[in-house]
Amino acid sequence: MSNKIFIDACFGKKTPYTPIWMMRQAGRYLSEYMAVREKAGNFLNLCHAPDMAAEVTLQPIDILGVDAAILFSDILVVPNEMGMELEFIKGFGPKFPQPLKTDEDLDALDMSASNKLTYVYETIKIVRKELADDKALIGFTGSPWTLATYMIEGQGTKTYAVVKKLIYSNPDYMHKLLDKLTVVITEYLEKQIEAGVDAVQIFDSWASALERDAFFEFSWDYMVKIAENIKAKYPHIPVIMFPKGISGFLDGIYGNFDVFGVDWATPIELAKEKLGDKYVLQGNLEPTRLYSRDAIDKGVDHIINTMKNERHIFNLGHGMLPDLDRNNAKYLVDKVHSDSSKF
């Protein structure tokens, strides 16, 4: 047993209660976060400043009492350090003004990017020093597919038209890019682990852009490669996979990793039936339930009574929303701890 309940739960060990953390728990719904972000000037500055990034990483531990902190950073720092100019435009979101188009663009990507992400490793070192020993620190990355989609589209998209045209007309180009990202991401996660994270999560936020076969070919296979690289070298580090929006493909999920993140559109009992024996499940309260105590009560009852404090980490089924009431978030954490301890 580790001294961290979150880590024990990742490995399916029986814990006195179900640990909880929340995606985007360090975020705009906390005035303390907004104060630091204002000091940083903008979002990317905050990612680049280890002292401040560490501070916002730690805030939800103190404020909410969650069982794990997640590194404050952004998935797009990886393509950024591979040489792609990155802007965050207010009211619009992230943008790469020069998306990838040619073979030369591919060749120009800097494969030593993980060496340049030193501000992330610095953040991790500061957090790990200040974080209580019984709390876990989760590192993370975007999946190759999700990062590649941003790099090809240049920005968020509803139809994924540019990247879809590419995978139909020139799948080799996409596979070359995904191979490169798999190498860089593996090194990036290894360096996060060396710097002190206790677990890693791979976010595939845009899994839902793909049909079943394409999801496995262009996304999941690469995520599994990364997971298996990490598990081979660091078997004691839990690997969490979070492909969002694939409730129709659960029966195809395979690979050597520890925890499967369940989005809120997937009924928790369906995930349990399909994957619960093989993987620990993480999730999956619908985030807007945090607007209402009654909705929290009903949602938590359903999830806790389904999972019964076995092979389960509590989380939201997507990220926190900026206008949520922190008191409700704290209420959720306390309720999950208390209710799950009865099993």
| Number of residues assigned to the chain | 343
Q: Please tell me which residue in 33, 150, 188, 222 is annotated as part of the active site.
A: 150
Given candidates 249, 257, 260, 279, which one binds a second copy under the rule CB under 8 A? Answer: 249
If binding is defined by CB under 8 A, does position 289 make contact with a second copy? yes
Closer by beta carbon to a second copy, 85 or else 301: 301
If binding is defined by CB under 8 A, does position 172 make contact with a second copy? no
Given candidates 267, 306, 326, 330, which one binds a second copy under the rule CB under 8 A? Answer: 267
Given candidates 87, 110, 190, 286, which one binds a second copy under the rule CB under 8 A? Answer: 286
Q: Are 26 and 54 in contact (CB under 8 A)?
A: no
Q: What is the DSSP string of 267-333?
A: -HHHHHHHHTTTSEEEEEE-GGGGG-HHHHHHHHHHHHHHHTTSSEEEEESSPPPTT--HHHHHHHH
Tell me which residue has tokens 């953390």. 21
Q: Answer yes or no: 24 catalytic.
A: yes
Q: Between residue 26 and residue 85, which ones bind a second copy under the rule CB under 8 A? A: none
User: What's the alpha-carbon Rg for the chain, to the nearest Å?
Assistant: 19
Q: Answer yes or no: 74 catalytic.
A: yes
Minimum distance of a second copy from residue 329's CB (angstroms): 15
Residue 16, number of CB atoms within 10 A of its CB:
12
Query: At 259, phi and psi to the nearest 5?
Result: -125, 135
Q: Please tell me which residue in 37, 67, 204, 258 is annotated as part of the active site.
A: 37
What does the buried/exposed string (b/e) look like for 106-138 if buried means 16 or more CB atoms within 10 Å of the residue's CB? eeebeeebbeebebbbbbbebbbeebeeebbbb
Q: Between residue 300 and residue 339, which ones bind a second copy under the rule CB under 8 A? A: 321, 323
If binding is defined by CB under 8 A, does position 168 make contact with a second copy? yes
Closer by beta carbon to a second copy, 43 or else 168: 168
Residue 269 identity: E
If binding is defined by CB under 8 A, does position 292 make contact with a second copy? yes
List residues binding a second copy (CB under 8 A). 159-161, 164-165, 168-169, 208, 211-212, 245, 247-249, 264-267, 270, 286-289, 291-292, 294-295, 321, 323
Q: Which residues are catalytic?
A: 24, 28, 37, 74, 150
